[in-house]
Amino acid sequence: MIKKVDHIGIAVRSLDEALPFYTEILKLPLLGIEEVESEKLKVAFLKAGETKLELLEPTSQESAVAKFIEKRGEGLHHVALGVDSIQERINEMKEKGIRMLQDSPKIGAGGAEVAFMHPKSTGSVLYEFCEKKGLEQ
Ligand code: ZN
């Protein structure tokens, strides 16, 4: 089942340039910065009450986020829904005719298992399912 909005992903060209708005103006606590090699991203998580904001800086032109920024500019990238039993959720969506970008979860930021729904199946919103087994933030 879907438990909550786990985080909202925001594409930025540079974490260094984007972070002061969040940490100094909005005064959101920075939970950490990590590199997600497989996605060619540097990711910063900020705590926003019960949910989080995930700033995504591409580390290579090959990154899907780099292509997103090239096409649409910086800004809202995806909405992540926290789920349990992610593989079951993926199977369930596929049974309902929803296109998934992954047939099985991959490891994303923070060691979470993630899978994305195809925006063509969701009214143009990129939704991520994410499940953190025993690593609740
Ligand atoms: Zn995300």
Question: What's the CATH number where 65 sits?
Answer: 3.10.180.10
Mean model confidence pLDDT for the chain = 95
* Domain contains 117: yes
Contact 81, 8 (CB under 8 A): no
Structure tokens at 70: 């090239």
CA of 77 to the centre of ligand 1 (A): 9
CA of 69 to the centre of ligand 1 (A): 16
Q: How large a percentage of the chain has pLDDT more than 90?
A: 90
Question: Which pLDDT score, from 0 to 100, does residue 86 have?
Answer: 97
Question: Which pLDDT score, from 0 to 100, does residue 47 have?
Answer: 98
CA of 96 to the centre of ligand 1 (A): 23
* Domain contains 73: yes
* Domain contains 69: yes
Q: Is the pLDDT of residue 136 over 60?
A: no
CA of 20 to the centre of ligand 1 (A): 20
Query: Which whole number is the average pLDDT over 50-72?
Result: 97
Residue given tokens 């998580």 in the structure block: 45
Query: Which whole number is the average pLDDT over 6-34?
Result: 98
Give the DSSP letter of residue 100: B
The total of structural domains in the chain comes to 1
Indicate the range of 107-111, 114-118, 122-126, 133-137 predicted with least confidence. 133-137
How far is CA 84 from each of CA 1, 2, 6, 27, rounded to the nearest angstrom?
6, 7, 12, 31
* Domain contains 137: no
* Domain contains 40: yes
Query: Which whole number is the average pLDDT over 61-76?
Result: 97
* Domain contains 136: no
CA of 130 to the centre of ligand 1 (A): 8
This prediction has a pTM of 0.93
Return all residues near 122 (Cβ < 8 A) that are at least 6 apart.
Answer: 98
**Cα 9 from Cα 52, distance rounded (Å):** 9
CA of 84 to the centre of ligand 1 (A): 16
CA of 102 to the centre of ligand 1 (A): 14
CA of 41 to the centre of ligand 1 (A): 11
CA of 61 to the centre of ligand 1 (A): 19
Of the CA atoms within 13 Å of residue 99, those in its CB half-sphere come to: 10
* Domain contains 31: yes
> Which residues have a beta carbon within 5 Å of ligand 1, which is an ion?
9, 54, 80, 128
Report the phi/psi class of residue 20: left, alpha or beta, with left for phi > 0 and alpha for psi in -120 to 50.
alpha
Q: Is the pLDDT of residue 137 over 80?
A: no
Give me the domain span that covers residue 73: 2-131
Residue 81 is inside which H or E element, if any?
A: strand 75-83
Question: Which pLDDT score, from 0 to 100, does residue 12 have?
Answer: 98
